[in-house]
């Protein structure tokens, strides 16, 4: 008998669909240069339905695939996507998605967790500029006298607070609307009501 954990076909489909949701959301915001990302809604859905490890893996695969398609910058942010998935999954298991106020609180905590990883990557690998709509804010804060690290941290905090709260609310609402028979297919699903 094998002791290797098995991933169900439903979980694999969930991961693939979630990667597509992440990439579509990210592409739309990138094309219109919004200062938010919307590239982690699928990862958050995975966190709610599959748990922290499924969400972590989804975040990793999203950014690695995106790196192959669009360039290495997306792959460089894979640790950020992994942190989003892990923290969202742990918060979901702890009841962080049972009510709107908890979802908002979870969005704030996810933002604080990802900052630990995102600020050094954006600052030291890219000098604060990544080609996103948030670059304007980094440049502005830096121009008015903030150091580069502080400018990046303020921008990452502001952009991700709005983004992760909105993404968490969208994922929560989508999962809540799933039929009961679909929800039963995910035994690790967090309580969302």
Query: Is the per-residue pLDDT at 3 higher than 70?
Result: no
Q: What is the mean pLDDT of the chain?
A: 93
State the pLDDT at residue 105. 98
Instruction: Give the DSSP letter string of 31-76.
Output: HTT-SS----HHHHHHHHHH-HHHHHHHHHHHHHHHHHHH-HHHHH
The greatest distance separating any two alpha carbons of the chain, rounded to the nearest whole angstrom, comes to 64
Q: What is the pLDDT of residues 21-51, one digit of tens each?
A: 999 998 898 888 777 889 999 999 999 999 9
Quick one: which of 161, 14, 22, 7 has its CA closest to 81? 22
Query: Is the per-residue pLDDT at 4 higher than 70?
Result: no
**Spacing of C-alpha 69 from chain mean position:** 19
């Amino acid at each position: 008998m094998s002791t290797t954990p098995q991933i169900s076909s439903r979980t694999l489909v969930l991961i693939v669909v979630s990667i597509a949701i992440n990439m579509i959301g990210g592409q739309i915001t990138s094309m219109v240069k919004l200062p938010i990302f919307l590239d982690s809604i699928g990862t958050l859905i995975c966190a709610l339905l599959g748990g922290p490890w499924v969400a972590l893996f989804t975040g990793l695969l999203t950014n690695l695939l995106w790196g192959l398609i669009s360039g290495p910058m997306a792959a460089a942010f894979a640790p950020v996507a992994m942190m989003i998935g892990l923290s969202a999954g742990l918060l979901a298991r702890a009841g962080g998605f049972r009510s709107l106020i908890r979802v908002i609180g979870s969005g704030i905590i996810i933002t604080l967790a990802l900052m630990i990883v995102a600020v050094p990557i954006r600052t030291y690998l890219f000098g604060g500029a990544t080609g996103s709509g948030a670059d304007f804010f980094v440049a502005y804060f830096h121009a008015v006298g903030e150091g580069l690290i502080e400018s990046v941290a303020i921008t990452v905090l502001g952009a991700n607070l709005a983004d992760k709260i909105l993404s968490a609310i969208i994922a929560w609402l989508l999962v809540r609307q799933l039929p009961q028979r679909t929800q039963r297919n995910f035994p690790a699903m967090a309580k969302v009501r």
